[in-house]
């Protein structure tokens, strides 16, 4: 697959807005993942190199395995940042305003608002919006931005960008992976990326408590219909019992979508609030983004998410009915 046809590059307006800003606030999405954190950090380090005052905000727990990221300790929680008319606020990897969580108000109070994102469902909530739904990660867009600005990448920036790209592509195996990913990787290696060390941390190393959570989640496996839909769920008490933050569920949904014969899958986990967060996956040509939007969520064609009110049993029943209906509609259209 080539990228030339679909790739959307930063506009002159976006570049000049970034160059002209003195004070910049950067935000990633709620319950941040490797791409949200890695992309924000890479951009922050770039803008600091350009002499700008940069602060970063994120709402939610930073996954323990991402604590190796350079300057990760600089992230501020909601209430710790402020903006005025001279502030440029940039939302990176954030599909809609709600995904800023507790940082919405400070984002809206900035004089200029920018959105850089690769979610096809993005609502273009900035004054300047750069959305490329075909980019495999927001990190790819930050890399393009660095090139457009003529910036020579540092080793720390390479590590941040690698983290974003590799985590959002499932370690380079999703449908979204294209030639651009590997052009970018070549440059990251050239900048000194220690691939073996960090790929082990990101994709092999597991916390004992995560494996314990998994062992209590796998027995919830549901196989639906003709065996083409599968689901898993975790009650909130399982998180507390295993002393794991709700955010540390990455990869659980793979145990459902990776089953032979399964083309659509969900993973439901109950949050402290009682709401139920769903991670949705599909194998092409099936898609789950529209299904997620139906419940007020969003994401990508084959990986999306949404939140339903609890209790878990009821939320799961609603989701299962919706997935089966969605699959039926997609089969009928095929
Ligand atoms: Mn992303």
What value does the mean pLDDT take over residues 60-72?
94
The domain locations on the chain are: 12-203, 209-333
- pTM equals 0.84
Residue 119 near residue 143, CB atoms below 8 Å: no
- CA of 94 from ligand 1 middle (Å) equals 8
pLDDT of residue 126: 98
Residue 242 has pLDDT above 90, yes or no: no
Q: What is the pLDDT of residue 246?
A: 73
DSSP state of 104: H
Query: Burial, 143: exposed, middle or buried (Cβ in 10 Å; 0-12, 13-18, 19+)?
Result: buried
Cα–ligand 1 centroid distance for 40 (angstroms): 11
CA of 193 to the centre of ligand 1 (A): 20
Q: Let me know if domain 209-333 sits in CATH 3.10.310.30.
A: yes
DSSP string over 8-62: -PPPHHHHHHHHH-SEEEEE--SS--HHHHHHHHHHHHHHHHTT-EEEEE--SPP
Cα 305 to middle of ligand 1, angstroms: 12
| Dihedral (Cα; 180, 185, 190, 195), 10-degree rounding | 180
Distance 191 CA to ligand 1 centre (A): 22
C-alpha 280 – ligand 1 centre gap (Å)? 15
Q: How far is the CA of 38 from the centre of ligand 1 (A)?
A: 9
Q: What is the pLDDT of residues 142-156, one digit of tens each?
A: 999 999 999 999 999
CA of 142 to the centre of ligand 1 (A): 11
- Provide the token pair at 57: 């905000």
Q: What is the DSSP string of 54-79?
A: EEEE--SPPPGGGTTSTTGGGEE-TT
Residue 101 near residue 60, CB atoms below 8 Å: yes
| % of residues, the chain, pLDDT over 70 | 98
Q: How far is the CA of 137 from the centre of ligand 1 (A)?
A: 5
β-strands 75-76, 128-131: how paired? unpaired
- Mean of the per-residue pLDDT values for the chain? 95
Distance (angstroms) between ligand 1 centre and the Cα of 225 equals 31
**Ligand 1 center from residue 119 Cα (angstroms):** 7
pLDDT tens digit sequence for 279-329:
999 999 999 999 999 999 998 899 999 999 999 999 999 999 999 999 999
Ligand 1 center–CA 110 separation, angstroms: 23
Centre of ligand 1 to C-alpha 332, Å, is 31
- The pLDDT tens digits of the residues spanning 90-118 come to 999 999 999 999 999 999 999 999 999 99
Fold that domain 12-203 belongs to in CATH: inorganic pyrophosphatase (n-terminal core) (3.90.1640)
SS (H, E, C) 290-307: HHHHHCCCEECCCEEEEE
Task: State in Å: Cα 92 to ligand 1 middle.
Answer: 9
C-alpha 226 to ligand 1 mean position (Å): 32
Confidence category of residue 3, pLDDT binned at 50, 70, 90? very low
CA–CA distances in Å: residue 186 to residues 140, 161, 182, 199, 244: 13, 12, 6, 15, 36
Does 287 sit behind a cis peptide bond, omega within 30 degrees of 0 on the bond before it?
A: no
% of the chain with per-residue pLDDT over 90:
90
> Residue 117 C-alpha to ligand 1 middle, in angstroms?
7
At which residue do the structure tokens 């989640």 appear?
Answer: 217
Å from CA of 275 to ligand 1 middle: 23
Between the CA of 32 and the centroid of ligand 1 the distance, in Å, is 10
Confidence category of residue 42, pLDDT binned at 50, 70, 90: very high
Q: Please give the distance, rounded to the nearest whole angstrom, from the Cα atom of residue 36 to the centre of ligand 1.
A: 6
Cβ atoms of 59 and 97 closer than 8 Å: no
pLDDT digits (tens, 9 = 90+) for 5-20: 679 999 999 999 999 9
């Amino acid at each position: 697959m080539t990228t030339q046809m679909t790739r959307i590059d930063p506009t002159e307006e976006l570049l000049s807005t970034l160059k002209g800003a003195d004070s910049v606030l950067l935000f990633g999405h709620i319950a941040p993942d490797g791409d949200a954190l890695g992309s924000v950090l890479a951009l922050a380090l770039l803008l600091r190199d350009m002499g700008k005052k940069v602060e970063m905000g994120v709402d939610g727990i930073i996954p323990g395995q991402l604590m190796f990221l350079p300057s990760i300790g600089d992230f501020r929680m909601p209430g710790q940042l402020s903006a005025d008319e001279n502030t440029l606020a940039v939302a990176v990897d954030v599909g809609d305003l709600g995904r800023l969580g507790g940082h919405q108000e400070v984002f809206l109070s900035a004089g200029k608002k920018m959105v850089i994102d690769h979610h096809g469902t993005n609502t273009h909530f900035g004054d300047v919006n750069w959305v490329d739904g075909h980019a495999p990660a927001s990190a790819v867009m930050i890399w393009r931005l660095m090139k457009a600005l003529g910036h020579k990448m540092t080793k720390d920036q390479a590590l941040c960008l690698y983290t974003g790209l590799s985590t959002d592509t499932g370690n380079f195996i999703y449908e979204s992976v294209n030639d651009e990913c590997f052009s970018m990787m070549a440059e990251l290696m050239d900048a000194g990326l220690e691939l073996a060390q960090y790929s082990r941390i990101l994709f092999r190393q597991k916390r004992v408590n995560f494996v314990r959570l998994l062992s209590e989640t796998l027995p919830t496996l549901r196989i639906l219909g003709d065996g083409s839909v599968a689901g898993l769920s975790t009650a909130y008490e399982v998180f507390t019992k295993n002393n794991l933050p709700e955010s540390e569920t990455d990869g659980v949904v793979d145990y459902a979508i990776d089953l032979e014969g399964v083309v659509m899958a969900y993973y439901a986990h109950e949050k402290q609030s009682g709401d139920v967060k769903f991670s949705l996956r599909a194998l092409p040509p099936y898609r789950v983004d529209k299904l997620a939007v139906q419940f007020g969520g969003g994401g990508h064609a084959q990986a999306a998410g949404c939140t339903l009110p609890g209790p878990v049993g009821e939320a799961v029943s609603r989701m299962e009915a919706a997935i089966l209906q969605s699959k039926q509609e997609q089969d009928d259209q095929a």
